Amino acid sequence: MTYKFTLDIRPAWHLRHPVEGEIPLQDVLDVLAAIETTGHIAGACRDIGVSYRHAWGLLRRFEQAFGVELLQTRRRLGTTLTPFAQKLLWADRRIQARLSPTLDSLASELQEELQKLLPDHAQHLRLHASHGFAVAALMQQLGDSSLAVELRYRSSSEAMAALAGHECELAGFHVPQGEFEAPMLKAYTRWLNPQHHVLIHLAYRNSGLFIASGNPKEITGLADLARPDLRFVNRQAGSGTRMLLELMVKRAGIAVASIPGFDNTAEFTHAAVAAHIASDMADVGMGVETAGRRFGLDFIPLVRERYFFAAERSAIGTPAMQALLATLRSSAYRDFVQGLAGYDATHTGMIQTVDEAFAPSP
């Protein structure tokens, strides 16, 4: 019997000292993150399962090698991280947010290539999708199932083009509800054929502006993006979020050229945009609410979106597709999606025609 395996590729970074050699930075980061959460070293050691002596050894070795303190202890206030330690943690979070989707896609691709060489290789599905938390949660839910799904994170436009070119069985894309639905949908119609394709509803989600906690820059909405004192961090060209933002600022009478940083940055995930702002490298950006909340940011909602998987009508009845639908409709998956900040799993797993999904409101 052949068992399905899971390939995991994770980013890692290292610091090399001319005398101390390589410092086990990931171990140091794990300790610092746990201290940030618990407020003291003893609790941190319990959380990550290391001895007090081992944790102190890691921290002291780093401090001695680089001549900088990582912790500050105040009477009755517990242990907190120094600015340098905080910067280390935020750097790691930016790395994770920026690289993880790319590495997840590569791992999924390599896993499928290796799995094909094993006996009794099961039928699989190819999923191309813009990055989203509901998609990541689906892959986690499928991890222990017999269904193999090869995931590639791509922009919504790239995913839909791949479906039209028969490079995948499922393509993920998102469309806002309301006045921007029609122009956004128009961007996909060159690939979306109502006669050949159906839509699988994944989730509703809230998109809006990420701003620093407490809103120190007093940002209230889109009109503020053109302020010269603000730094904006954008998504990559071709992403659905960037296309939507361009429509929204145009409708608001704002020229993209007037938005500081609009064309200078290009992050590939909502989490990377949020991490950019949380680490004080930018003041504002756009993405889904979940990412902002996870990085401790405030959120200004702008639109509610629907996230779909587009698929060939003829593929819906296949065993692999039915297995995927069963996972989407399971209480475990729906409950998880419902628990994501700004997500709504009310219609998760529902199949609609293109005309049904985008019928004009009565």
DSSP code, position 224:
G
Question: Which residues lie below 8 Å from residue 173, measured CB to CB, with a gap of 6+?
Answer: 129, 130, 156, 159, 160, 188, 240, 307, 308, 310
Amino acid 361: pLDDT: 60
Domain range list for the chain: 15-90, 122-357
Say which CATH architecture domain 15-90 belongs to: Orthogonal Bundle (1.10)
pLDDT recorded at residue 1: 38
The pLDDT assigned to 279 comes to 86
Q: What is the pLDDT along the chain (362 residues), one digit of tens a residue?
A: 344 666 777 777 877 878 777 777 888 888 988 888 888 888 888 988 989 899 888 888 888 888 889 888 777 667 888 888 888 888 888 888 777 777 777 776 777 677 666 665 556 789 999 888 999 899 888 876 778 888 888 889 999 999 999 999 999 999 999 999 999 999 898 999 999 999 999 999 999 999 999 999 999 999 999 999 999 999 988 888 999 999 999 999 999 989 998 887 788 889 999 998 998 889 999 999 999 999 999 999 999 999 999 999 999 999 999 999 999 999 999 999 999 999 999 999 999 999 999 987 65
* Residue burial 157-171, b: 16+ Cβ < 10 Å; e: rest: bbbbbbbbeeebbbb
This prediction has a pTM of 0.80
User: Which H/E stretch holds residue 55?
Assistant: helix 52-66
Element (H, E) at 331: helix 331-338
pLDDT given at position 333: 95
Fold of 122-357: D-Maltodextrin-Binding Protein; domain 2 (3.40.190)
In this predicted structure, what is the pLDDT of residue 5?
A: 64
10 Å CB burial of residue 327 (0-12, 13-18, 19+) is middle
Q: Can you give the pLDDT at residue 2?
A: 46
Distance CA 294, CA 279 (A): 13
Decide: helix, strand or coil at residue 306.
strand
In residues, how long is the chain?
362
Are 247 and 217 contacting, i.e. CB atoms less than 8 angstroms apart?
A: no
